[in-house]
Amino acid sequence: MDFANHLKKRGYRITNAREVICTILENSGHQHFTVEELHTEAVKRDKNIDLATVYRTLEVLEDIDIIEHSHQVHGSGIFYLKSEYSNFHIICEICKKIVDLKKSTSKKINDLLKNDSDFKDVNNHFIYSGQCKNCN
């Protein structure tokens, strides 16, 4: 679970910005972050960390398979720890809570798409939205 070490092993340098962002992610549980949120957290620990650096660090962490990102239909990208338990996500338009869908659901959706359209490697980098039970 030492992300900085993963970076090192893969030939990336350990810098303060990267350590800060890794620490935030390591302690995040399985929270979903916008880049802004992550930047805000990072700045609390080092006020010089730039938004561009956050973007670049996230790109690196995605490259070494620590995190993944998805896109919302409206609004910014969402970053979170890569997990073997989930693929697809859904966000409540009202309370903004993000729910991870079960991997089995993701698989069923991919199968449906494949059978209907004959496409392969269907992209899952977007976030469904709707209204959750509590908001109805």
What residues line the site for a second copy (CB under 8 A)?
71, 73, 90, 92-93, 99, 101-102, 105, 108-109, 112-113, 115-123, 125-126, 128-133, 136
Q: Which 42-81 residues touch DNA, going by CB under 7 A?
A: 46, 48-53, 55-57, 59, 71, 75-77
C-alpha to C-alpha distances, 129 to 36, 124, 125, 135, nearest whole angstrom: 20, 14, 13, 13
Task: Work out what residue 1 binds among DNA, a second copy, none; the CB cut-off runs from 5 to 8 Å by kind.
Answer: none
Token digits of residue 78: 């969402």
Residues 55 and 35 sit within 8 Å (Cβ to Cβ): yes
Task: Work out what residue 99 binds among DNA, a second copy, none; the CB cut-off runs from 5 to 8 Å by kind.
Answer: a second copy
Cα separation of 74 and 98, whole Å?
14
Tell me which stretch binds DNA (CB under 7 A): 6-14, 92-100, 104-112, 121-129. Answer: 6-14
Residues 20 and 46 sit within 8 Å (Cβ to Cβ): yes
CB nearer a second copy, residue 1 or residue 121: 121
Cα separation of 12 and 3, whole Å?
11
Q: Does 104 bind DNA (CB under 7 A)?
A: no
CB nearer a second copy, residue 8 or residue 114: 114
Cα separation of 8 and 41, whole Å?
23
Token digits of residue 119: 């496409």
Cα separation of 71 and 51, whole Å?
18
Minimal distance in Å, beta carbon 101 to DNA?
Answer: 21
Contact positions toward DNA, by CB under 7 A? Answer: 8, 12-18, 34-36, 46, 48-53, 55-57, 59, 71, 75-77
